[in-house]
Chains A and B, each alone.
Chain A
Amino acid sequence: MLDAGELAVISGPSGSGKSTLLRLFNRLLDPGKGEILYNGRPLAGYGVVELRRDIYYLQQAPVMIQKTVRDNLLLPFRFRAAKKDTLPPDDEKLLKLLERFKLSGVTLEDDATRMSIGQKQRLAFIRAMLLAPQVMLLDEPMSSLDPVSRAVVRENVERMATGEGTAIILVMHYNFASSVARTRRYHMENGVISDSQ
């Protein structure tokens, strides 16, 4: 069970099944048996496209398409599933976000595929935030970041949980010091998850 505004931190060695678990939550995979409920209904009861925009999975390796930073950030607004009444954010808002994530040297016209891995990881995080999902599945979102950027991402994870009420499931192979009041901690090993509180 995970409520809005809660943070679940799942730690465990690599290969223990953490990413597979996250992929079950947004139906990139379906479980062999058992059921996952979202708002009391099984995941299969939702339209998969809408479900994935509600429960967003941020991949471990940040993927940028061969276009500008702006095109990459606005990617969620390009598909038919994007609601007609939601306007994509303007350049001013995008620039503010870049600044907040310590990406001031990056312009919106830069080729996103030429960024460093740490920059891409932050851009991918911003892209996820712009989608404003109800549930955010974060797969090692800080693995390639220096301590300063790591602090920025942590701050924003906490802000999404406490400020916007996003339910967050965070997968890390090391510990995540969280100031979110409602944080649950789990440990995963060989595909088995256990409460580590």
Chain B
Amino acid sequence: MDPIEISYGQLLIGLVFIATAGGASLFLKLGLERDIIWGTVRTFAQLFLMGYILVYIFRMDSAAIILLIFTGMILFAALTIRGRVQEKGVPYLIPTFISMFMSYMLVTIVVTYFVINVEPWYEPRYFIPLGGMIIGNSMSAIAISLERIFSDIRKRRDEIELYLCLGARHGEATGDIVRESVKAGMIPSINAMMAVGIVFLPGMMTGQIIAGADPVTSIKYQIVVMLMLVGSTAIGSIIIAFIVRNLCFTKAEQLKI
């Protein structure tokens, strides 16, 4: 069963929702009008662009190009995180990129190669959407971990310095802080496993069902996605927390921020 096509006219009806949000912003003086309009323009532009690019990508048969595109997506996600996390003292962009790259690449390849068993493993129709879902969802986990570790180090400065004065290495002085930061990054994806199917129906599953796929097949895919999100947020949060923690200290075990 093919899905019902949405015409461009019908798509524009969706702008009613934007007008509602914009009206609310004007009425309540929220000052969000510009962001709402800019966000709408970007949503249309980015998704259409991605759609047309995907048509080309799906025809490609080169692992190198697919991985390059995936790397570009991760880089963009890392830049987005930099816009969100307000920290000037420590250069964390490259570590963020590295931890996302390692975690997402590993998880996506395991899923396409071992779980779904796609031939070849980089088959773009699977690799790009699955990888994109990991990036989109666990990007916020990395941002949460980063925000948490920076704010905790600043808040618990006296305690960290007490440990350092007593002869602790920075690892000993910040053990709790790193644990809390990793935990904060992991909890949302664990909570999502509790609520899925009851509180919310995930976009991928509903999308497949609307597109006419067998609901049971869609559910299996969704389960794989939920599991890989837990894995990727765990790996990503752990790597970023450890790297960034180390960057906050000098070689002489002094706090930098």
Contacts and interface: CB of A to CB of B under 8 A. Distances in A.
Interface stretch (B49-57, B143-151, B165-173): B165-173
Interface string A29-70: 110000000000000100011101100111101010100000
Contacts of B164: 28, 52
B165 A30 contact: no
Contacts of B168: 49, 79, 81
Nearest to A127: B166
Interface in A133-192: none
Interface string B169-203: 10010000000000000000000000000000000
B112 to A, nearest CB: 43
Interface residues of B, number: 16
Given A27-B252, A30-B252, A48-B252, A80 B158 contact: no
Contact of A49 (B161, B169, B254): B169
Query: In the complex, which of the residues A49, A58, A76, A81 has the most CB atoms of chain B within 10 Å of its own CB atom?
Result: A49
* Residue of B159, B166, B169 with highest tally of chain A CB at under 10 A: B166
B172 to A, nearest CB: 5
B252 A63 contact: no
A56 B168 CA distance: 12
Contacts of B169: 49, 79-81
Interface in B126-172: 158-159, 161-169, 172
B165 A59 contact: yes
A91 B1 CA distance: 77
Contacts of A29: 254
Nearest to A55: B165
B166 A61 contact: no
Across the A-B interface, the 3 shortest Cβ-Cβ residue pairs: A81-B167, A53-B167, A63-B162
24 contacts: A26-B165, A28-B165, A30-B252, A30-B254, A52-B165, A52-B253, A53-B167, A56-B165, A56-B166, A57-B165, A59-B158, A63-B158, A63-B162, A65-B159, A65-B162, A75-B162, A75-B163, A76-B166, A78-B172, A79-B167, A79-B168, A79-B172, A80-B172, A131-B166
Interface of B: 158-159, 161-169, 172, 252-255
Given A79-B172, A131-B166, 11 more contacts: A27-B254, A28-B165, A28-B254, A30-B252, A48-B252, A49-B253, A52-B166, A52-B253, A79-B169, A80-B169, A82-B167
